[in-house]
Amino acid sequence: MTRRVYLDHNASTPVHPEVVAEMLPYFTAIYGNPSSIHAFGREAREGVDQARERIARFLKVSPQELVFTSGGTESDNFAVKGLAWARGRGHLITSKVEHHAVLRTCQALEGFGFAVTYVGVDGHGMVDPDEVRRAIRPDTAAISIMHANSEVGTIQPIGEIGRLARERKIPLHVDAVQTFGKIPIDVEALGIDLLSFSGHKIYGPKGIAGLYVRKGTKMVSIQHGGEHERRRRAGTENVPGIVGLGKAVEVRARDMRAEAERLTALRTRFWEGVRARVPEVRLSGHPTERLPGTASFLFRHVESESIVLGLDLKGVGVSAGSACTAGNIEPSHVLVAMGVPLDWAMGAVRCSLGRSTTAEDIDYVVDCVEPIVKKLRQVLPVGAA
């Protein structure tokens, strides 16, 4: 039987058994609408309120500053559009390596007359806070910079950018979908006004996420209807999902630090194993300021989709860059912004480790990678001279 190794945790994670157990009653026994005032509704509302309080404790914020959404994409759209439309016009700053949920939202806002500056990154994928400072204009309405990149794992200098934003009284939105529950986040110390996070990246269910909105931040709703979420996001709450997200956050609060140390060690073992066995390979992203479990390899003169498919035949799940651009044969926009040469960028393979990953898994994948890359370079060289 082929060994199965899942190394795509940045795309999605299996739901933690403790999370499943907490959610189950909300599919059957506790089924009321949380907006209803009768006992059935109040039972559901208690689950929603408990989840909100758990997340608020984790972020050290007020429960009233949290809004539940359907996913990280909606949270990003809500944050960027909500800030922009609250001001009506003006200028936005983001980076060239953002998730498409932010990039395409900014592009859409350009169609409504907003000006957008897309700041670049260095060869490690890191934003220069000085470039953000130089981009600020008198009419800058908002800044949106991700906390960490899902493809290469680079953690951005949010604290420095947050200080700039505070000095200029410009609201700062941070897409923390890849860092929430993986590394510590202090929204006050970092100067964050809005923070996007999601459930299915931290062993919670899909279809549930949230947005932290600092009290006093000028925002408008982008979804209209009922009085839900203090009139900030209309729509009947996904009660089982919210309960699951709350439990997932509670579990992450307990396990996060120990898992980060373990995954960092496994990531180092992985990289050392690959570079010892495979010639012409690089580790993309920042060498130290990176997500604990993210290893993004660049294999020169080979096409990443072929490596992904070869590993899949060996029972190994990895991705070619971001899962949200799967099937796209163009190099990742992140690697392009980093200035990675085409002959390296086309061979980008992202491996993201998680709570089930073992040292034996890593050694197995290293054993699989070497012959796959060797064979591909022999029969399907990409960009070779």
pLDDT of residue 229: 80
Q: Which position has the higher pLDDT, 322 or 73? A: 73
**75-100 confidence digits (pLDDT tens):** 999 999 999 999 999 999 999 999 99
State yes or no: pLDDT of 74 exceeds 70: yes
Are the beta carbons of 114 and 84 closer than 8 angstroms?
Answer: yes
CB count in 10 Å sphere of residue 43? 18
Give residues with Cβ within 8 angstroms of 10, minimum separation 6. 150, 178, 201, 291, 293, 294, 319, 323, 350, 352
By DSSP bridging, strand 348-352 and strand 294-299 are antiparallel
**What is the tens place of the pLDDT at every residue in 273-317?**
999 999 999 999 999 999 999 999 999 999 999 999 999 999 999
- What's the pLDDT tens digit per position in 95-138? 999 999 999 999 999 999 999 999 999 999 999 999 999 999 99
How large is the angle between the packed helices 100-110 and 72-87, nearest 10 degrees?
30
Top-confidence residue, 380 or 9: 9
| 212 sits in which H/E element | strand 209-213
Give 275: exposed, middle or buried? Use CB within 10 Å, 0-12, 13-18, 19+. Answer: middle
Cβ atoms of 282 and 58 within 8 Å: the answer is no
Give me Rg for the CA atoms of the chain: 21
Q: Which residues are catalytic?
A: 324
Backbone angles phi, psi at 144, to 5 degrees: -130, 110
Q: Is the pLDDT of residue 5 over 70?
A: yes
Average pLDDT over residues 186-196: 98
How far apart CA 287 and CA 307 sit, in angstroms, is 23
Tokens of 318: 């990895």
β-strand pairing of 209-213 with 66-69: antiparallel
Residues of the chain above pLDDT 70, percent: 96
Q: For residues 354 and 199, give the distance between their C-alpha atoms in angstroms, rounded to a whole number.
A: 15
What pLDDT score does 201 carry? 98
Q: What is the mean pLDDT of residues 197-225?
A: 95
CA count, 13 A, side-chain hemisphere, 268: 8
In terms of residues, how long is the chain?
385
Average pLDDT, the chain: 94
Q: Say if residue 151's pLDDT is above 70.
A: yes
Angular region, 181: left φ>0, alpha ψ -120 to 50, beta rest: left
CA distance 236 to 121: 40
Q: Distance between CA atoms of 37 and 43, rounded to whole angstroms?
A: 10
The pair phi, psi for residue 159, each rounded to 5°, is -60, -45
Residue burial 289-308, b: 16+ Cβ < 10 Å; e: rest = ebbbbbbbbbbbbbbbbbbb
C-beta pairs of 227-233 under 8 Å, 24+ apart in sequence: 227/35, 228/35, 229/67, 229/68, 230/64, 230/67, 232/67, 233/67, 233/68, 233/69, 233/78
pLDDT, tens digit, 9 for 90 and up, residues 329-384: 678 999 999 999 999 999 999 999 999 999 999 999 999 999 999 999 998 655 55
Categorise residue 209: left if φ over 0, alpha if ψ from -120 to 50, beta otherwise: beta
pLDDT of residue 329: 67
CA 239/CA 334 separation, integer angstroms: 35
Q: Tokens standing for 106?
A: 């900014």
Query: Which ranges in the chain belong to alpha helices (H)?
Result: 17-23, 39-59, 72-87, 100-110, 129-135, 158-168, 187-190, 228-231, 239-277, 304-313, 333-337, 342-345, 359-379
To the question of pTM greater than 0.75 for the whole model, the response is yes
Is the model's pLDDT at 164 over the cut of 80?
yes
Beta bridge partners of 154: 290
Give the model's pLDDT for residue 385.
46
